[in-house]
Amino acid sequence: MRKRNHTVTIRMNKEEYDLFQSKVKESGRTQQEVVIKAIADLKIASTEEVEELKRLNQMFADILSQLRGATTNINQISKEGLENEFDRNRQKARDSANRDSRADEELRNYYRELDAAIADTRGITNQAQSGEGYSRTEFRESERVHANTEKADTDTGRRETDDLIRQAEIARRSSEINRRNSASDNRTVRNAEAESIASAEQRRSEKQKWINEQERARAARRRNKRRSGPEL
């Protein structure tokens, strides 16, 4: 049997000592046997391997720094793009509201002029029917001589008045239809803007998620390399 004449004393903190006792218990061996076995199987990295690991760690650190800088730039670009898009959409909404306001004012003016024309036409027709502006004798004489002509003129005036009223109603209905269509177009524009914003946010989120996954993968590789050799 081989003699062991050298004594080695080491110091451990509580966590290291508890781990050591746990390994001894799992192995079913003595403390001495566990230590000697661990030393015999321990693989020591060469100087070249250590330098290569240092170089790789520095390279990964540089790549990580560049990725963080790129992430900041991407976020800044996305933010500026969204702000510009919001400004353009707000300006479009203001321009559309101004156009609608001007169109409504023009339409109201048109209705006022049309109503005034209808009122004037009705006044002329009523005047012709009542004989206003004539003396009773002159009206009776004119009525006897021109009865048929006046009747025809009165009918013509009524038809013209009815035509104007129908045109006014048609114009009102057309205006309401255009107004509803304009409101529908505005809702379509707002929906498209919301979809564009949501799409930009999703792309930015996916980019950030990919960067986070790359960082976690690199961190896992570094941990695996540090644990490549048995620990004492």
Confidence of residue 155 (pLDDT cuts 50, 70, 90): low
What are the two backbone dihedrals, phi and then psi, of residue 2, each rounded to the nearest 5 degrees? -75, 135
pTM of the model: 0.24
**What totals of helices (H) and strands (E) does the chain contain, helices first?**
4, 0
Q: How far apart are CA 32 and CA 83, in angstroms?
A: 70
Residues 6+ apart with CB under 8 A from 225: 53, 56
Residues 6+ apart with CB under 8 A from 52: none
Confidence of residue 127 (pLDDT cuts 50, 70, 90): low
Q: Are 204 and 77 in contact (CB under 8 A)?
A: no
Q: Considering only 179-193, 194-208, 216-230, which range has the smallest mean pLDDT?
A: 179-193
Q: Considering only 22-36, 172-186, 214-228, which range has the smallest mean pLDDT?
A: 172-186
Q: CA-CA distances (angstroms) from residue 139 to 29, 46, 152?
A: 140, 132, 17
Higher pLDDT, 161 or 144: 161
The predicted model gives 169-190 an average pLDDT of 71
**53-95 pLDDT tens trace:** 888 989 988 898 888 888 777 777 777 777 788 788 888 888 8
